[in-house]
Amino acid sequence: MSVRTRFAPSPTGHVHIGNMRAAIYNWLFARHHGGAFLLRVEDTDRERSTPEAIDTLLRAMEWLGLEADEAPLYQSTRMEAHLAAAERLMELGLAYRAEKGGAGSGECVLFRMPGRTISFEDAIKGTLTKAAENMEDFVIVRSNGTPVFHLANVLDDIEQGVTHVIRGDDHIENTYRHIALYEALGAELPVFGHLPMIVNGQGKPYSKRDGDAFVGDFRANGFLGDALFNYLVLLGWSPGDDREIMSRDEMVEAFVLEKCQSSAAQVDLKKLSWMNYEYILQLSDASFRSATREALSVAEIAATEEQLDAVIPLIRERVKTLTEIAPLCRFLLRDDYAYNEKAVAKKLLKEGVQETLAALRELLLEVSSFDAPTLNRLLHDYVERSGKGFGAVMPPLRICISGEQGGPDLCPVLEVLGRDEVIRRLDRAVEMFFD
Ligand code: GLU
């Protein structure tokens, strides 16, 4: 039997990382077994499942590299089949019409639970059981004639030939009902695997209030799709050794459901940030360059190819999220940077700084060659000779030419800006802060 898994989201306009993790696990499981990964869009709630919401979902999947192997099945196109199945169940005496919400609310169709204990072997949680007395008949077609989630979900899984249903453990209660439906419909049961919840530090379901929770937020905040993918894979699963940064191939190779943890998985955004940094470091030069070009264009900072050649080495190992690129580059490409007020107060507006800057101006004007090693020697000599200490020399100079106290290494920055620009910026700052 060839493995077929699916991702069956209900598009709402946001894609929560918990849903995406389920998609990733289904994708990995299918790839591991050389099977198929399918998409089913559960878009029966027409108010929420707008074309934009569906587009958000598809873009999130594309960004994470989760391609489906067949065309998506849109649940809303299957209503006739769902209703026909409900009719069939009624003919078999396995479903019946009744008033559910009290007299006058109209008749719906209810599924008759078989009246026995239902047990199944969950691929992640082990044996799960629910006693007959705790299960009641349930609605499968509303009084307005629309099919209910349970019926649609099961029928579509049968239609798509799904062999493994991997989803959040908030669906366990549904699964008992679904198993009864499968049996009533005479269909073979898939294997079920229920994933533990993703929680915050207090053990509560992880939500927007705890930090970024939607895939689109991570993208907007400069995370790489591959980094988020890797992070989510490890949120509730481990390869069984201490590997953390893993290639797609390695993940596919190692992914087995038995290694999924059955208890809740806690989000650690710091770890994701670390991982994102590692992934950015691993980007090829061409990818980093195109990310830089894009970030600058969004920030409306113009840069020629020669400028990119000069600037990229300065920021290459400092970028932790792609959103840091433009702010890091700005002062290198334009002179309309702001001066950080705190830095100015702390390091610039100090006794003796104006004299230091005047001395540095002379040295920088006269130094034979304006390259980083020469400048480095020059500044070191000056620090030593003047007895002022690095803290009284480097930060003021840096603030004058960049507006900030921190940033890429100073001497390579001076080299890239060039002598004329450095002198111009020094003069401007001195005039602004001291005259
Ligand atoms: N649309 C349901 C959800 O998003 C489907 C659950 C499932 O069967 O995977 O929760």
Closest atom of ligand 1 relative to the 19 alpha carbon: 4
Let me know if 273 is exposed, middle or buried by CB neighbors in 10 A (0-12, 13-18, 19+): middle
Question: Last residue of some domain: 195, 220, 237?
Answer: 195
Catalytic residue flag (residue 208): yes
177 and 228 part of one domain = no
DSSP H helical ranges for 95-224: 149-159, 172-184, 215-220
pLDDT of residue 102: 72
User: What range does the domain containing 190 cover?
Assistant: 75-195
Per-residue model confidence (pLDDT) at position 15: 96
Ligand 1 within 6 A of 167 CB?
yes
On the CB side of 281, how many CA atoms lie within 13 Å of its CA?
Answer: 10
Q: Which of 208, 259, 271, 350 is catalytic?
A: 208
Residue 278: inside a domain: no
Q: If you take atom 3 of ligand 1, which residue's CA is the nearest one?
A: 9
Nearest CA to ligand 1 atom 5: 8
Residue 43 beta carbon below 6 angstroms from any ligand 1 atom: no
Residue nearest to atom 2 of ligand 1 (CA): 9
What are the residue ranges in the chain where pLDDT is below 50? none
Q: Which residue has the tokens 């898939």?
A: 190
In a domain, 24, yes or no: yes
Mean pLDDT over each residue of the chain, to the nearest integer: 96
Instruction: Provide the pLDDT for residue 252.
Output: 98
Q: What is the pLDDT of residues 32-42, one digit of tens each?
A: 999 999 999 99
Measured in Å, residue 15 CA sits from the centre of ligand 1 at 12
Residues 157 and 85 in one domain: yes
Same domain, 218 and 175: no
Residues 40 and 95 placed together within one structural domain of the fold = no
pLDDT attached to residue 435: 75
**How many whole angstroms from 142 Cα to the centroid of ligand 1?**
19
- Whether residue 88 is found in the same domain as residue 231: no
- Clarify whether residues 219 and 255 are in a common domain: yes
CA of 358 to the centre of ligand 1 (A): 68
CATH of the domain at 422: 1.10.10.350
User: Are 103 and 186 part of one and the same domain?
Assistant: yes
Pocket test for ligand 1, best of 4, 5, 10 (most atoms within 8 A of CB): 10
Q: Are residues 83 and 38 in the same domain?
A: no
Atom of ligand 1 nearest to the CA of 170: 10
Say how many C-beta atoms besides its own lie within 10 A of residue 392's C-beta: 17
pLDDT of residue 353: 96
The token pair at 410 is 């100073």
Identify whether 275 is part of a domain.
Answer: no
Q: What is the Cα–Cα distance from 264 to 393, expressed in whole angstroms? A: 52
- This prediction has a pTM of 0.93
Residue 203 phi, psi dihedral angles, 5° rounding: 80, 10
Establish if 277 belongs to a structural domain.
Answer: no
Is the distance from the beta carbon of residue 42 to the nearest atom of ligand 1 less than 6 Å? Answer: yes
- Where does a domain end: 162, 195, 228? 195
Q: What is the pLDDT of residue 24?
A: 98
Probe ligand 1: pick from 78, 149, 164, 167, max atoms within 8 Å of CB? 167
Same domain, 314 and 386: no
In a domain, 213, yes or no: yes
Report the greatest alpha carbon distance in the chain.
99
Instruction: Name the amino acid, one letter, at 365.
Output: L
Distance, CA 190 to ligand 1 centroid (Å)?
15
Residue 179 lies in a domain: yes
Burial class (CB in 10 A: 0-12, 13-18, 19+), 266: middle
Q: Is 171 in the pocket of ligand 1 (CB under 6 A)?
A: yes
pLDDT computed for residue 1 by the predictor? 76
Count of domains observed in the chain: 4
Q: Is the dihedral of CA 84, 86, 91, 96 positive or negative?
A: negative
Helix residue ranges per DSSP H, 66-198: 79-91, 149-159, 172-184
In a domain, residue 163? The reply is yes
Asked whether residue 218 falls in the same domain as residue 260, the answer is yes
Q: Is the CB of 10 under 6 A from ligand 1?
A: yes
Q: Is residue 60 part of a domain?
A: yes
- Write the CATH number for 59: 3.40.50.620
Question: Which of residues 249, 270, 291 is at a domain's end?
Answer: 270
84 and 150 housed in the same domain: yes
Question: Do 348 and 380 share a domain, yes or no?
Answer: yes
